[in-house]
Structures are given as C-alpha cells and as structure tokens.
Copies of this chain bind each other. A is one copy, B any other.
Amino acid sequence: MGGPRFEPVRTVRAYERIVEQVEEAIESGTLRPGQRLPSERDLMGQFSVSRSTVREALRVLQARGLVRSRPGDPHGAEVQPFTPVELHKSMTMLARVDGLSLGELVQFRMVLDSSANLLAARLRTDEQLAEMDTAIAAMRAAVEVGYDEFSAADVAFHDAVARASRNKLIQICTEVVRSIVLGLIAGKIAAAPDRVALMRRSIRHHEEVLAAVRAGDGPLAARLSRRTMYDYYEEYVPTSERPALRALLE
C-alpha cells in the first residue's frame, strides 16, 4: 500500500470549460433568464479561445436549452428560462431507441395520474376544482365537435389535477409522457368507430374521479383514475402487456 494515489488525467476540452462556466453562472443565478451573453467575438476575448471554440460551446448550451441565439441579434445569445423541452427530448429518445413499449408508458401515466389525484384530493384549492369542472364541461361540449377538441379538454383536466398536486416533477413528467403516448396512438382513437361512446364513458369516469377529489377521498380518486386511464387505453395496448397494467388496479 503506498505511493500517492494518482488520479487519471482527464483532458478537458476548451469548449467544455466554457460550457461549465456558463452553466455554473446560470445555476448560481449570476445569469438569469432574459439576460444576454456577450457576443461570440467578445467571448473569444474573454475566454482566450477562437471563435470556433466559443461557437461549439454555445451549440452545446443551446442543445441543453440554456441559451438561444438569433442571427443578427446585436445583444448576443439570450439566457432561456428553464423548460422541460430537453427532458422531453431525452425521454422521447429513450422511448424510441430503448424501445419503451406503449404498455410501459401507459403504466407510468397511471402511476403519475393516480398519485396526482391522491395529492390533489388533499391539497386542491377551490379554484383548481373549478378548473377541473371547466375542463369536464369542455369535454362534454367537445363530444359533438371532434376528437381533437375532446382530447385537448381531457389534457386540460389532467393538467389541472397535476397542478393541484403541487409537485412540479409530477406535472412535468405527466406532460412529457402524455405527449409521447398521444404521439404513439395518434389518430387511432379519432378513427375508432365507437369513439363517441368512448368519449361519453370517459366523461363519466372523469366525473367520478372529480367527485372523489372534491370529497377529499384521495385513495378513491387515485383508484378511479387508474381505472379510467386503463379503460381508455386498454385496446391500444398489446394483450400481452395488459396484465402488468391491471396489476395497478386493486
């Protein structure tokens, strides 16, 4: 045992150093959304690197959604407010490359939505209840209009519940996973011959969920919401995956 422990030398690229510095500034709040970075030509002076290196760093920061640059903008790149678009992209990539099945995605939605309902039943405000009422009313009104409108109202309801849970992680994951699911089954529901009946049943289910939330019965709302979602997506999930989904229905 002996000798000094030598760490492997990690060669750090110049552009990575720049990325780290800017990220650090944003994380620490030194750079706030809306603020501007110096121009690329200024930055090459400040960091003592060439413009190519500065630009590669900016590309990375832009890919992470932290800054945005427009050609011709005399004020330099703008620091962006945080958005889950990157989260969304990586999850979408995960879904496609790593082969996430529709079953897994729907199952995860059931988990998220039921948890949101469980929390919402205890934490919801009257305003949020009103939002949910409005959303269900919009669903009813949309039955005769079209599936797109119905779907939008449905989304609004689940978003209202997610907000009422007061957990940002639940809200964001709900949003991300839902858009992936909707992308996978795009058009299939709209094309279903009995879609009007499906919509009506879904409305009834949502009303039951909302009643439980209003009554403050979290476990009931959670159970009902899982059932609602299962019924809604069941026929699009391969039969082999359905047992795993049903495991969530007590």
A contact set with B: CB distance below 8 Å: 15, 23, 26-27, 52, 55-56, 59-60, 62-66, 82, 84, 86-87, 89-91, 93-94, 96-98, 100, 104-105, 107-108, 111-112, 115, 118-119, 122-123, 166-170, 172-173, 177, 218-219, 244, 247-248, 250
Contact = CB atoms under 8 A, between A and B. Distances in A.
B104 A169 contact: yes
Contacts of A63: 59-60, 63-64
A97 B248 contact: no
Contacts of A168: 94, 98, 100, 104
Nearest to A66: B93
B90 A244 contact: no
A119 B104 CA distance: 12
Please tell me how many copies of the chain the complex holds.
Answer: 2
A111 B115 contact: yes
Given A27-B96, A59-B63, A166-B244, 6 more contacts: A64-B89, A64-B90, A86-B93, A98-B168, A111-B112, A167-B244
Contacts of A111: 111-112, 115, 170
Nearest to A52: B52
Given A90-B84, A122-B247, A169 B27 contact: no
A94 B98 contact: no
Nearest to A173: B173
